């Protein structure tokens, strides 16, 4: 069995994530390759696509949302994602057990004593009536039916237990703000098509196999634990065992078994990796249980200080080297360690390319401060 180094895994991940070289593929194709883009805040998927696609513009993604070819909803790991509409129809039923597990957590269970899940879903769908309501209005109507129970928590549980799609304005560029303004619509009404079903064990297994193939195409080679950490499903060893004849196997740096698509090519580990700026919650940082292929454990603590926080980062030689933030019109770079003159120049160039996309005017990096493309005294 071939052993892959950490550098080989890093270059494979960057290549499949379109971070080793930008692609000319369409945003729809790229979102499909990545399966879904985490979208807890609406602007970040735009930045993620900018870092991966030549000449990407805001309107390209906004148009996909308007045309209902891409949707925003709860998906992987019970968090908000953007996904191609047809992928969402197929994957959400498979992942529903993960969202149900979240909906059954103490936070929700304490609030809905005496109200079973099926009744909550039926009530919520009745209130929506196949149309659209803001989360705030939905919560108000649920609270009216159940005095003494927090309607906001009921609405949150309802959104986990049945597929609802967010309105276009919620996912469009610049839609930062109050989550209560999010509007939700039953997915089947929004898409005009029924959701797929995972009604039998055989159907569920087939869908899980497809999900594993899709994951490997965008994140492989990887271990079974990596797949499970990425999607939230468990007991995938049994599914992978049925796929042995179609998968290639490697040994990882720690000796653990890694799987990959049989026809997937691996780039040369010595391939140069360009500087890239990644958004908060980027796929490349969240796609594995063992994330050391792209971020060290020490830096992971800086970038992910809390369970619900993943800061924007920048890559140097394929690994996280620092974080960044947009404060007003200034993009501030925070290196975690010294940069060589060459890497600093490359980072500065890439950052100044990003500035107009995010509406910034200035770059600040340590002692380096630039204004309008010229050194500031």
DSSP annotation string for 239-271: HHHTTGGGEEEEE-TTS-EEEEETT-----TT-
Among 219, 243, 273, give the residue marking a domain's end: 273
CA distance 113 to 35: 36
CA distance 259 to 239: 12
Whether residues 239 and 327 share a domain: the answer is: no
* Residue 187 tokens, joined: 């997915």
Whether residues 93 and 177 share a domain: the answer is: yes
Whether residues 312 and 173 share a domain: the answer is: no
* Residue 185 tokens, joined: 């619509």
In a domain, 196, yes or no: yes
Whether residues 266 and 300 share a domain: the answer is: no
Using only the alpha carbons of the chain, give its radius of gyration: 22
User: Into how many domains does the chain fold?
Assistant: 2
The residues near 338 (Cβ < 8 Å, ≥ 6 apart) are: none
CA distance 214 to 199: 21
Whether residues 89 and 236 share a domain: the answer is: yes
In a domain, 282, yes or no: no
Q: Which residues of the chain have pLDDT under 50?
A: 367-377
In a domain, 287, yes or no: no
- 3-class state of residue 83 by DSSP: strand
In a domain, 134, yes or no: yes
Of 139, 168, 151, the closest CA to residue 73 belongs to 168
| DSSP E strand boundaries for the chain | 37-38, 70-74, 80-84, 133-134, 164-166, 183-186, 247-251, 257-261, 276-278, 313-316, 319-327, 330-335, 362-365, 368-371, 374-375
> How does DSSP classify residue 85?
H
Whether residues 66 and 110 share a domain: the answer is: yes
Whether residues 75 and 190 share a domain: the answer is: yes
CA distance 100 to 162: 9
pLDDT reported for residue 366:
61
CA angle, corner 129, sides to 124 and 131, nearest 5?
A: 105
CA angle, corner 90, sides to 89 and 91, nearest 5?
A: 100
Among 243, 273, 303, give the residue marking a domain's end: 273
In a domain, 357, yes or no: yes
Helix/strand/coil percent split, the chain, to 5? 45, 20, 35
pLDDT reported for residue 373:
37
CA distance 136 to 156: 10
Whether residues 80 and 160 share a domain: the answer is: yes
Whether residues 57 and 122 share a domain: the answer is: yes
Query: Beta strand pairing status for 368-371 and 362-365?
Result: antiparallel
CA distance 351 to 315: 12
Of 273, 202, 360, the closest CA to residue 19 belongs to 273
CA distance 287 to 215: 9
Of 262, 254, 252, the closest CA to residue 222 belongs to 252
Whether residues 196 and 305 share a domain: the answer is: no
In a domain, 116, yes or no: yes
338 lies in which domain range? 295-375
Of 196, 172, 192, 170, the closest CA to residue 183 belongs to 170
Whether residues 299 and 265 share a domain: the answer is: no
In a domain, 263, yes or no: yes
Q: Taking the mean position of all CA atoms in its chain, how far away is CA 343?
A: 27
In a domain, 269, yes or no: yes
Whether residues 252 and 305 share a domain: the answer is: no
Whose tokens are 């060459």? That residue is 342
């Amino acid at each position: 069995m071939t052993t892959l180094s950490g550098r080989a895994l890093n270059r494979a991940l960057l290549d499949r994530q379109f971070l080793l070289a930008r692609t000319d593929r369409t945003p729809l194709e790229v979102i499909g390759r990545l399966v879904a883009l985490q979208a807890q805040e609406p602007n970040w998927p735009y930045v993620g696509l900018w870092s991966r696609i030549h000449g990407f513009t805001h309107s390209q993604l906004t148009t996909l949302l308007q045309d209902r070819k891409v949707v925003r909803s709860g998906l992987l790991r019970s968090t908000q994602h953007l996904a191609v509409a047809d992928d969402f129809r197929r994957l959400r039923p498979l992942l529903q057990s993960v969202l149900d597990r979240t909906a059954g957590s103490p936070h929700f269970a304490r609030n809905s004593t005496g109200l079973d899940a099926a009744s909550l879903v039926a009530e919520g769908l009745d209130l929506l009536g196949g149309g659209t309501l803001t989360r705030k209005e939905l919560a108000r109507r649920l609270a009216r039916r159940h005095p003494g129970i927090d309607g906001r928590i009921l609405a949150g549980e309802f959104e986990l237990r049945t597929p609802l799609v967010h309105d276009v304005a919620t996912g469009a560029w610049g839609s930062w703000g109050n989550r209560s303004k999010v509007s939700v619509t039953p997915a089947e009404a929004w898409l005009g098509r029924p959701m797929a079903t995972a009604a039998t064990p055989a159907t569920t297994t087939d869908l899980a196999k497809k999900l594993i193939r899709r994951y490997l195409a965008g994140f492989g080679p990887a271990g079974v634990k990596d797949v499970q950490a990425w999607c939230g499903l468990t007991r995938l060893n049994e599914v992978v065992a049925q796929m042995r004849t179609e998968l290639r196997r490697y040994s990882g740096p720690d000796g653990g078994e890694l799987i990959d698509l049989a026809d997937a090519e691996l780039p040369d580990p010595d391939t140069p990796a360009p500087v890239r700026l990644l958004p908060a919650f980027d796929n490349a940082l969240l796609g594995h249980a063992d994330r050391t292929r792209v971020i060290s454990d020490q830096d992971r603590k800086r970038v992910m200080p809390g369970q619900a926080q993943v800061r924007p980062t920048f890559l140097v030689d394929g690994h996280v080297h620092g974080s960044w933030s947009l404060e007003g019109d200034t993009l501030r770079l925070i290196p975690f360690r010294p940069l060589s003159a060459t890497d600093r120049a490359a980072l500065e160039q890439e950052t100044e390319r990003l500035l107009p996309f995010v509406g910034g005017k200035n770059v600040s990096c340590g002692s380096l401060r630039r204004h309008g493309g010229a050194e500031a005294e």
